[in-house]
Every structure is written in structure tokens, then in C-alpha cells.
Amino acid sequence: MSSPTPSTGQVQIQTSAQKSPAAINVANYLFQNPILKQRVGLLDNQNDLEFFRYKRFERALLSDDYNSKQQNPRNGLPPISSVEDVQKIFVLLIQNQMIIPVKKLHYAEVKAVKGWKPKREKPTLRRSEKAVVDPNFYYGWTYTKPNPYILLYSLLAVAGIFAVILFPLWPNFMRRGVWYLSMAALGLIGLLFATAIVRFIIYVISLVALPKPFWLFPNLFEDCGFFESFVPLYGWEEPKKKKSKKSKKSKMAAKGGDDDNNVEPILTSAEKTATGAEAHENGSSGASTSKRKVLLEEVADE
């Protein structure tokens, strides 16, 4: 039931928990339809929600593909020939709680909410209280298309559980086959451990007897697939690069050159007396100039 309000012209839609067959068939056709171009967003910045624009919803229901599939009575799709029919289907999906109106928030709006972080891959969505028939208005799917193989998977799971429970009642040849398979699995695990021990022993021996360390199955414990772990069959470990003696000698020579540059020259006694006299003269001249400066300052103070 829907009742329009006389003041605003809005229509209040009452939702129902029961899904009508027509709504389910239309939702199965529209969900992940390429015409919708639906995207994945974050409802309240937490949960994934696939959403779309209303104009693409209308375009999908008025397409030739929908018209051709509607002609087949097995699909159970209602006939749609006008925009008014699209709006009726739109209201039907809202009543069956299959779609909800949402608003895509901008970067500043997301940052304004405490604890929310904007993401480029998935826009942040917030549920809207009003459903507007507007081409650019967004709507999100609360309906998930059922997996057609879910019944088959359920039957296989139940059959597997019963098969394990009824193992004592199996025929002797089946129980013997299970025993052989379990022994084969244990043998493979033991072979893997034995291979690891043997390759380590060979590696230790190669450290002493061979110029380069030798590895059997070098990719055995690498982060790769099961079959890639046994390829190649063997490999040589490259030794670590050592610093050459020439480089050390060149560094020592460079240091020695720097030390030679820092050695003070040896002066003779005559040179020492000469330099001492020059230093004395410089010191006396400096002292006289300093005294003159002081006198000038005193004269200036007077």
C-alpha cells in the first residue's frame, strides 16, 4: 500500500518481507546486468554494496534484450513498454526490500565523519531515507542472486558426511583402498623429509670438497608451487663477493697521502729564530695596536 501526502506529493512505500515471484525474476535479470554498469561501494564505510544509477535501471528494462526474454514465459518477466511501467517495477523492488536508495558521499563528506576513511577503489555510500525517481540517483542491491549449484554442493556435502560416518560398513576392498591411499600420503610426507635431510648433507659435504656449494632441489623450500619446488634438479650457490686486496691497498695509500699532507715541516735553528723573531714582532705590533685602540676609546670617552 502507498499513500501520497497532499503537501509534498511524496509517496510512502510500505515494505514487505515476502518476495513476489515477479520481483525475484526481474531482480535475477537485472543483477549484474552489463547495462546497469553497477559498481561496488562501501555502505557506511564498512560493508560492500553494489549500486547503480536509476537511468541505467530504466535503460535495462526498456532494452530489446529484456523484451526478447520477456517473450519467453519460462522467465516469468512482466511486460514493460513505457516509463510508467518501469516506475511500477521500481516501486515493486523497493517494496520487496531488494534495492535501497543510497547517496554517494564526496571526499570532504567522508572525512567529516569520525573514524571514516575515503577510498579511491570503493566510494563511500550512505543510505537515503527518500527514493527519488531521478536519472542520476543511486540505488544499491540488498538482493543477492542465488547460486544455481548451491543445491548440488549441499547434496555432495551431505553425501560426504554420511560416507565418513558409515566407514565401518564399507566393503573390504574400499577400506583396503583407503588404507593404501593413507599409506601413500604418509610415504610422500616421509620422502619429503628424507629429501630435505639428504640435500642438507650433500650441501655440507660440498662446502669442504667442492669449490662451490651444491644444492639438490634448490627451490625446495622457496615460495612457489609444488611442482616448481623440484625445478631445477640441482644448482650451485654463488659465493659472496669479497673485497679485493687492491682496493684495500689503494685505500691505505690514500690515507697515507692524507697523513703526509698533514705532517708539519721541519725547520732549522736559523729558520726557527727567524720565525720566532717575526712572531715577536707581529705580537708586539699587535699589542701596540691594541693599546692604541684602547687609548682612542678612552679619549673618545673623555
- Weakest-pLDDT range from 15-19, 135-139, 254-258, 283-287: 283-287
Q: Are residues 17 and 129 in the same domain?
A: yes
Residue carrying the nine cell digits 561496488: 40
Q: Are residues 64 and 22 in the same domain?
A: yes
Whether 281 has a pLDDT exceeding 70, the answer reads no
Comparing 270 with 237, which gets the higher pLDDT?
237
- For the stretch 58-100, pLDDT in tens is 999 999 999 999 999 899 999 999 999 999 999 999 999 899 9
Whether 293 has a pLDDT exceeding 80, the answer reads no
- For the stretch 177-215, pLDDT in tens is 999 999 999 999 999 999 999 999 999 998 888 888 888
Percent of the chain with pLDDT over 70: 74
Q: Please state the φ and ψ torsions of residue 7, each to the nearest 5 degrees.
A: -80, -40
At 147 the pLDDT is 82
Q: Are residues 80 and 124 in the same domain?
A: yes
Are 199 and 216 in contact by the 8 Å Cβ rule? The answer is yes
Q: Are residues 135 and 196 in the same domain?
A: no
Cα–Cα distance for residue pair 283/206, rounded to 1 Å: 76
Q: Are residues 131 and 187 in the same domain?
A: no
At 261 the pLDDT is 47
Q: Are residues 182 and 232 in the same domain?
A: yes
Neighbours of 139 (CB within 10 A): 25
| Residue 125, strand partner residues | 43, 104
Q: Is residue 3 part of a domain?
A: no
Angle between helices 21-30 and 54-61 in degrees, nearest 10: 100
At 240 the pLDDT is 67
At 53 the pLDDT is 93
Which residues, in sequence order, are CB contacts of 196 under 8 Å at separation 6+?
220, 221
Number of domains in the chain: 2
Pairing of strands 214-216, 99-104: unpaired
Comparing 10 with 226, which gets the higher pLDDT?
226
| 212 DSSP assignment | S
Range of the domain at 186: 152-236
The secondary element (H helix, E strand) that includes residue 282 is: helix 269-301
Q: Are residues 15 and 137 in the same domain?
A: yes
Q: Are residues 134 and 223 in the same domain?
A: no
- Tell me the whole-structure pTM to 2 decimals: 0.51
At 260 the pLDDT is 47
At 136 the pLDDT is 92
Q: Are residues 187 and 84 in the same domain?
A: no
At 1 the pLDDT is 44
Comparing 228 with 198, which gets the higher pLDDT?
198
Residues 156-176 have a mean pLDDT of 91
Cα–Cα distance for residue pair 215/234, rounded to 1 Å: 6
Cα–Cα distance for residue pair 17/24, rounded to 1 Å: 13
At 226 the pLDDT is 80
Q: What is the CA radius of gyration of the chain?
A: 44
Q: Using alpha carbons only, what angle is made at residue 17 by residues 16 and 23, rounded to the nearest 5 degrees?
A: 75
Q: Is residue 256 part of a domain?
A: no
Final residue of a domain: which of 236, 259, 290?
Answer: 236
Across the chain, mean pLDDT equals: 79
